[in-house]
Amino acid sequence: MIRDAHQIFSAAQVATDATGASTNVIDLTKAGDAVGGQELYLVVRIGTACASAGSGATMKFALQTAITEIFTTPIELASLSLAEALLTANTIIWKMKLPAGLKQYVRLYFTESGEAFTSGTIDAFLTPDVNVDALRG
């Protein structure tokens, strides 16, 4: 997979107190050479396993877009909710082709529920080069 520094939402973003936006907002007009007419894919990976005190936490990952960088009126394009047991170390948990309807800015928004996460890290980025066969699984 190719990674462009301008296409990274999160790099080892801590999952504790996880409700909130990704570290970075991506401006698709400035996101580097890969954006120019190519299909892009979202990849979300768990670096360090996400855990809570009682193993009952859930994390929702939402891809959002907006016309302003401060996301005054975010539009949710896609989301995925996973139980803590699935948020294991070094695991790609979500790969998807970016959907239609993107505005100038995109970000991820994380929402934890059930219990608070006490550990874990999240990596998330856009790439034009992803194993498409893995998307069919």
The model carries a pTM of 0.89
Q: What is the pLDDT of residue 32?
A: 54
Residue span of the structural domain in which 21 resides: 5-136
* Tens digits of pLDDT across the chain (137 residues): 555 677 899 999 999 877 899 999 999 888 654 455 678 899 999 999 999 999 899 999 999 999 999 999 999 999 999 999 999 999 999 999 999 889 999 999 999 999 999 999 999 999 887 764 544 43
Q: What is the pLDDT of residue 30?
A: 81
Q: Name the nearest CA neighbour of 45 among 102, 108, 98.
A: 108
Whose tokens are 């998330």? That residue is 124
For residue 6, the SS3 value is helix
Alpha-carbon radius of gyration of the chain:
14
Q: What is the pLDDT of residue 31?
A: 62
| Residue 123 to residue 117: CA distance in whole angstroms | 16
Cβ–Cβ contacts within 10 Å for residue 3, how many?
16
Domain total in the chain: 1
Q: What is the pLDDT of residue 38?
A: 73
Q: What is the pLDDT of residue 34?
A: 47
Strands of the chain, DSSP E: 8-14, 20-21, 26-27, 41-46, 51-52, 58-66, 75-83, 91-97, 105-113, 117-119, 121-127
Tokens of 110: 């994380």
CATH number at residue 36: 2.60.120.1110
Q: What is the pLDDT of residue 55?
A: 87
